[in-house]
Amino acid sequence: MNVKLTDIEWAVEFASAGFGDNEAYLDTQTGAIYYVGDAVEEPIPDDLFEDSKYLALPNKQDLGLGKKLAINFVAETLPDHLDKAYEIFSRKGAYARFKEFLSSVDKLDLWYSYEEQSLNQAIKDWCNINNVKIDSGA
């Protein structure tokens, strides 16, 4: 069973949205992805939570792509602003302020690229660890 990388990326984004209410599961036999959340109306298999063939997909935090990634980005690209990054992430609402800060120093597009590449690599690593084969055409 091969899964498209973009399908896994969408599922991870879904699982990362909201406040922990969203989950995504991969059927390791068919490659189908099932979404579970308050806003989801699609049917799910009756045995989704019991059968080991369903693998819970991670969210960005599970993959280490939260605050640590943002701090690493600042350390690599704006080392003189590292204290500012730590200050931003010391309070709630950090990501909005972080993006405002990056926009003010004209690094927001670079951040989006860095974040996407990091997400892509983290998903590939997760798939490798969990024996999920990525479709080579994806």
pLDDT band at 19 (very low <50, low <70, confident <90, very high): low
Read off the pTM.
Answer: 0.84
pLDDT tens by residue, 72-128 = 999 999 999 999 999 999 998 899 999 999 999 999 999 999 999 999 999 999 999
Average pLDDT of the chain is: 92
State residue 38's pLDDT score.
85
Quick check: 138 pLDDT over 60?
no
> Residue 9: which H helix or E strand, with range?
helix 5-16
Q: How many residues does the chain have?
A: 138
Ranked by mean pLDDT, which of 11-20, 62-71, 80-89 comes out on top? 80-89
**Nearest to residue 8, comparing CAs of 130, 136, 127?**
127
Specify the long-range contacts of residues 118-124, CB closer than 8 Å, at least 24 apart.
118/65, 118/69, 119/9, 119/12, 119/60, 119/63, 119/65, 120/5, 120/9, 122/63, 122/64, 122/65, 123/5, 123/8, 123/9, 123/12, 123/63, 124/5
